[in-house]
Amino acid sequence: MVYPAFSQNSPDKSRPNIVIILADDMGYGDLGCYGAKGITTPRIDALAKQGARLTAFYSNGPECTPTRTALLTGRYQQRAGGLECAIGLGNIGRYPEAKALSDKGELGLPTDMSALPTMLKERGYRTAIVGKWHLGEGAAYRPAAHGFDYAIGPLGGAVDYFHHTEPVGVFLGTMMEGNHDFYRQDQPHQRAGTYMTHLLTNEAVEWLNIQKKEEPFFLYVPYTTPHEPYQGADDYQPDKLGMDRWSKGDTKTYARMIEDLDRGVGQILDKLKEKGFAENTLVVFFSDNGPTTIGSAGPFSGNKGHVFEGGIRVPAIVHWPGKVPAGVVSDQPFISMDITASLAALTDAKPRHKLDGVDMVGHLVSGKKDYDRNLFWRKKRAAQVRSAVRSGDLKYILDIDEGKRDEYLFDLKADPGEKNNLLQKRPADAERLRKLLHEWEAEVKPERM
């Protein structure tokens, strides 16, 4: 669609600023506006009330790296190769394809496959990433090579919130030394002692503070919250966190982490208003996958790592004053890579390759009727392969683990919690979706393998 705020011939000043805020391992039920219990998130709730809250938004994968790959490329992450499972600490590959790339020093997102920051730069946008990367730690795969003017944050999947280090101890058979993992402009940067959520918020606010109204900007803020280790802002300890404590936590600490994130989002929104940017800024908030068992998937089954709804259906909010109507609750199925397609349409950008997503923002702006679509997932780890396809309201899951094969068919409209397996009752539907999945897998074979 041609947006009210931008067309190819409009002056640069009409281009909206873009802010993407990404939570890490936040579940569908971890925000007040999605029914959270025991967690207070007034700023994000207000953002949803003033914009659109999406109830059928999916992450491209049930783990960190896959969704980030899809966002940066605007395509299914399977096309990139080696990135359909979270890259392990120390840039370790966790399934054969990823291990082969890791052994060659090539595990990461190649720059010729990414689209989001480069296409916006070509449209005159200033670009920044403030937060977690998790798309490769080698020099050729870091943010600057992908078109970010400014980059600060950890490169890997998880760090101590205070020391900004990987854990100490044995991880997947490898002895971890608690290496420092915090970078500024792709160079090691020491900021130990500052709580990570506060540090990233402050950096995002300071970057916004130096932006100018006449130059559009794209700010990507992938927080590490509430990913493990589970540390609240008052939980500082003088020693680096070891593997023995890395995954330990409780719901009270988890709630405090999310509430800190909520305050950080509020500070970013306040700075947008203070600088006079708010009315011309599109803000998208979402999570990269479902929660671990300490979080809440709301009414859904499964959690992080699974392709049941709880692992891939996540909270998502789209806010654009005067364009996206306030108070909208959309049941239209969307997926992470749709954000990239939306931004390409919004800015009249020319991505370097054909995108797999649809214009999500355009759909919300237009108020058009919702429609059925086919969406696909596949996650590999070791000998495990978890796949799914949603077609309309039907969803088929194929779960293979150590040679054991489990299949499921669900009607998500009647059974969003995926409690009633219809595989035996509706064999024709199961076969149709099984065929769709096979055809998709053949079409998205990795281009560099």
The DSSP symbol for 325 reads P
Is 189 one of the annotated active-site residues of the chain? no
Instruction: Measure Cα distances from 314 to 288, 308, 347, 385 in Å.
Output: 8, 12, 26, 21
Cis upstream peptide for 321 (omega within 30°): no
Residue pair 168/177 in contact by the 8 Å Cβ criterion: yes
What contacts 24+ positions apart, CB below 8 Å, involve 428-437? Answer: 429/394, 430/396, 432/391, 433/389, 433/391, 433/394, 433/395, 433/396, 433/409, 434/396, 434/398, 434/407, 436/374, 436/376, 436/389, 436/391, 436/396, 437/376, 437/387, 437/388, 437/389, 437/396, 437/398
Contact by Cβ (8 Å): 428, 435: no
Rounded CA gap, 68 and 109, in Å? 10
**What's the token pair of residue 235?**
């939980």
At 25, which amino acid appears? Answer: D
- To the query of whether residue 33 is one of the catalytic residues in this protein, the response is no
Amino acid found at 17: N
CB burial of 68-92 (b: ≥16 within 10 Å; e: otherwise) equals: bbbbbbbbbbbbbbbbbbbbbbbbb
Which amino acid type is present at position 342? S
Q: Are 77 and 66 in contact, with CB atoms under 8 Å apart?
A: yes
The one-letter amino acid at 233? A
- Would you call the peptide bond into 229 cis, given omega within 30 degrees of 0 as the criterion? yes
Within 8 A by CB and 6+ apart from 264, the residues are 197, 198, 200, 201, 204, 223
Number of other CB atoms surrounding residue 3 within 10 Å: 23
Nearest one of 335, 445, 317 to 390, comparing CA atoms: 335
Q: Which of 33, 85, 134, 319 is catalytic?
A: 134
* Tokens 């988890």 belong to residue: 254
Identity of the residue numbered 208: L
Q: Of residues 64, 146, 164, 306, which has the active-site annotation?
A: 64
* Active-site annotation, residues: 64, 134
